[in-house]
Amino acid sequence: MNPAPPVTKAVDIAREAIGAAVRVRPMTFPAQAMILAAGRGTRLGGLGERIPKVLVEIDGVPLLTRQLDYLKAHGVESIVVNASHLADQIEEFVRSHKDGPAITLVVESEPLGTAGGVINALPHLNDAPLLVLYGDVVCGEDLKPMSDLHDRQAPVATIAVYHSNQTEAKGVVEIDGSTVTSFHEKDPDRTAGWVNAGIYIVEVDWLALFPSGEFLDFGFHIFPAALRAQKSIWAHRLRETVIDVGTPEDLEKARAAGLPPVEI
């Protein structure tokens, strides 16, 4: 992904307005989720020009099918999918997908970024915690421990991370225990560390404080804004790396390895 634009003044204003109220709720896995599928897939070259990245197949299965099955296995009841590049193909997929939770498609005329896409879709979500899943990363691990952590600590967000010695072009997260202390997006000076896996549980009422209709990225804008406002973000450590199909080389490796089993 190309570097995101600088954080806007409106975001800084919203950051200062973030409240400290915490809802009391029973410990349960999020019933709603959003799959981010609006990326252009430019790093995939010609393949990304012909087909949305989330419809690329591994083991004969479109990534979007795998993501939907993964969320269904966790008991998620409703799913929002955003789309922009080649949105008609994703719309046809959603229309023909009958098995599993209800799916709402939100089309962006221009991609709004990872966080901007979620904020744009807030009218289709309730105020309960939201599981956010990037459409181009595949994980087979049980996320219920991550949900339990989020419920116990009540941060504005909990993110899944994995350790890697190859962090080129990835977002690296610094943590103290399980508390996130800083984000470093695609920093060439960082060659190892805890990588942002592209799986989050976020508080919807917190996201609603940021402006809608602007390009906003979680790693560049939203999460750093929360830390500057002294809001807590927690990290859930995954045991394994996630499958990332952002480049042709990554896709080739993923197809050679095959899809990981869902461990739920």
CATH of the domain at 74: 3.90.550.10
Q: Tell me the residue range of the domain where 208 lies.
A: 29-241
Residue 6 placed within a domain: no
> What are the beta bridge partners of residue 80?
34, 104
Cα angle 62-115-156, degrees, rounded to a multiple of 5 = 115
Domain total for the chain? Answer: 1
Residue 260 placed within a domain: no
Residue 130 placed within a domain: yes
Residue 252 placed within a domain: no
Residue 22 placed within a domain: no
Residue 225: its H or E element: helix 223-228
0.75 surpassed by pTM: yes
Residue 258 placed within a domain: no
Residue 174 placed within a domain: yes
Residue 213 placed within a domain: yes
Per-residue pLDDT tens, the chain, 264 aa: give them. 444 445 544 445 444 444 433 344 556 899 999 999 998 766 766 676 789 999 999 999 999 999 999 999 999 999 999 999 999 999 999 999 988 899 999 999 999 999 999 999 999 999 999 999 999 999 999 999 999 999 999 999 999 999 999 888 889 999 999 999 999 988 888 878 999 999 999 999 999 999 999 999 999 999 999 999 999 999 999 999 898 887 788 888 888 888 888 888
